[in-house]
Structure 1
Amino acid sequence: MKQLQEYDREKAVSYARKWALSYNPAYANYENYGGDCTNYISQCLRAGNIPLDTSGEHVLKKWYWYNENSRTPTWTAAEPFYKYIIGNNKENTQNFGIYARLAAYNELELGDIVQLVYEGGAYHNMIITDIILEGEYLQDYLICQHTYNLLDYPLSLKEGQKRYIKILGYYNW
């Protein structure tokens, strides 16, 4: 039986902060092709030790980026990314790769994902990079993002319907 491996939230957040206001030259920049937010979030998850997934039965059930000509829509587009990470593993399944679920606002941790949604479809991704508490009470989260690059920006200032995704870990072979 495969063991659920831990997502390294600190590494993901460190990467997010390092590249929030610039672009890692090891990856393509999709700002001129509809936005770079999902590409950036995928890079953050990869930095948090989430393995590439080439095992799915078709391109929307895989998640990888090797170069501009060898990548999946799930790596670079918000709604395919959502469908992949939520659908890849369910309770009591052990597919290869990421394991995530929808979450409530107050469940978010460093390295979790927030999506902006319009009419049921995701159009933007952000990563939680800090949690603002007053005593033990949650006040806000800070996020990083690409496509209007932001570093540690208050989530409460982001307009629009939000969807919250908790990264639980991953399975590897």
Structure 2
Amino acid sequence: MDTEKLEKSYDESEDKILIEGEFRSIAFIVGIVMSVVAMIFSIFSIINPKEQFPVSIDYMIMIFAVLCIAMCIKELLLNRSRKLTVTNSRVFGNTGRNSFDISYSDISNVDQKVRKSIIYGSTIYLNIKTSSNTEVSIEQLKNLEKVSQVIKSKI
């Protein structure tokens, strides 16, 4: 057990890992389950038209459920590749689309921003801006406050 802790507390370049990002995925799993349940009830309502419920509403529910399933699966797949590790000398990881490796001397600003969307609602994400004017946005972090504080203390 102690050797596992030692192996996990250092990365491949022997930097001590201060904190690792944890990402949210429960909401997407619940979204998939709820969409499947909505589709089942809509199909059941279409097959057994005993009620005075318009069939067009069932079709709209099914289309919306399929779109929700697609969005949730996309985010779950992105979460599988998302990674954030903060060490003594650098911040590295993957945003789900692009990988990054930034030393503390290159970081000019770290802040939390809010992105508002009709589909996703308000999403708070970590924004790391470098001195070369590139920005890294990391979404779906559970421990956003802790990661932000650790990075700000090292700048």
**TM-score between both structures, scaled by the size of structure 2:** 0.25
Between 1 and 2, higher relative CO (CA 8 Å, sep ≥ 6) is seen in: 1
Larger relative strand fraction: 1
Name the structure with the higher helix share. 2
